[in-house]
Homo-oligomer: A and B are copies of this chain.
């Protein structure tokens, strides 16, 4: 899985995932994947701009190609438990 951690210069009208908490989201995924003993099977990788800037922190899970927008650290446990462990993507956060 990839978490956009792109940072643009302050004041850029597009904004960027970094200033919307991308590092906290990625850290939360890494921490929880570790706790769930999924380290080595699933990797929370940093990514450059995923071109969905308006939606807030963007996450994409491969190989199933599920995109999430506006993800916050508070959403991470639901994505891990429902989707990554349980196989059921979290509908309310999906970008289609």
Contact = CB atoms under 8 A, between A and B. Distances in A.
Interface of A: 2, 5, 43, 45-51, 62-65
A36 to B, nearest CB: 18
A45 B43 contact: no
A17 B48 CA distance: 15
A17 to B, nearest CB: 13
Contacts of A63: 62-65
Contacts of A43: 51
Contacts of A48: 5, 45-47
20 contacts: A2-B2, A2-B45, A2-B47, A5-B48, A43-B51, A45-B47, A45-B48, A45-B49, A45-B50, A46-B47, A46-B48, A46-B49, A47-B47, A47-B48, A62-B62, A62-B63, A62-B65, A63-B63, A63-B64, A63-B65
